[in-house]
Amino acid sequence: MSPTARRVVGLVVVAVAVAVGCTFAGFWQWHRGEDRERAVRILVANYSAEPVAIDALLDSPAATLATTDAWRPVTLTGRYAEGSTVLLRNRPVAGTPSFHLLAPFTVEAPGSDFDGAVLVIDRGWVPMGADASAAASVPEPPPGTVAVEVRLRPAERASTRGAPAGQAHSIAPEPVVAAAGIEHSLVVANAYGSLVEEVPAPAVVPGALALPSTDYGPHRSYAMQWWVFALGALAGFGMLAYREWRGPRSDGEDGDDGAPTTTAPTGPTDPGRAGTGHTPPAKPRRQRRRPTAEEEEDALIDAQASETRSR
């Protein structure tokens, strides 16, 4: 294979590789957009729905919450464990560093599979303290029997990062219950509650949880951009490959090797034949002859004689 052919093949391979990569990136963004739109539709449908009992959405404490049931409100009666609030780290609110308050809630539902089960409830948020290692203050949940309304959400994946005592990096129910210092064998493992209301109200109400965003995000436009990049890669590298294969060209090119041809002058012509395209050769310049010693001596004698006559 000639060097030119190797360069052309290399450019084509690069074009195809870049185009394929951009195409897959575009499909990835497109699917992310579809997932986001699906989640927004579920949010809009469930957020303001009528509350139901928890066993209407979960078959057992170990069951997984269906995707289509996310954000559904449920009502519960039970008790918060005193002094067991866990601080959820790295959850800023409106740009303000803060902690979310995660409180284990023991459900009281006689005759139900959830009687005695612990549900982790996100009660709201508090600002971060001065040293950024703890909250400014941790309001306690209401004591005694409490009726709560929460929106069920799928549990988050457990974090592998370490956290100080009484804190957590994600809302993974079992690690949160462990961080609260509670030994309990029956935990709602795959869902948690986002607080809507507590009755009776606590002495200090934490900051309310923000309304979830219904923005679809830029995923669709990102997908289109990736596909434009794919077409651009094919066009750009394809043009480079074509130019490399075609080689340099000029008006007087040779059809075989691409090298331009020239025509040498055929010889001198009559200067009067103007417009023929031929240039007459230049006449050689006559060099001036240097005088001989005898000629220099004669010139000197003539000069002296002329001077004597003038006197």
What is the residue extent of each domain of the chain? 3-42+218-246, 50-199
DSSP 54: G
Question: For 201-220, how does the pLDDT look when each residue is reduced to its tens digit (9 = 90+)?
Answer: 998 999 988 888 888 889 99
Q: Where are the beta strands (DSSP E) in the chain?
A: 52-53, 73-80, 86-88, 98-107, 118-127, 145-154, 167-168, 191-199
Pairing of the two strands 52-53 and 73-80: parallel
The pTM of this model reads: 0.68
Q: Which two tokens stand for residue 111?
A: 């005759």
Q: What is the pLDDT of residue 160?
A: 86
pLDDT tens-digit readout, 6-34: 888 888 888 899 999 999 999 999 999 99
Distance CA 174, CA 195 (A): 19
What is residue 203's three-state secondary structure?
coil
Question: How much is the pLDDT for 256?
Answer: 46
Let me know: does 56 contact 76? Beta carbons within 8 Å. no
Amino acid at 79: R
List CB contacts of 247: < 8 A, sequence separation 6 or more.
Answer: 4, 258
Per the CB < 8 A criterion, the answer to whether 167 and 128 are in contact is: no
Task: In whole angstroms, give the CA distance from residue 50 to residue 71.
Answer: 11
CA distance 216 to 37: 6
What is the rounded CA–CA span in Å between residue 178 and residue 170?
A: 13
Q: Which residues of the chain fall short of a pLDDT of 70?
A: 130-134, 248-311
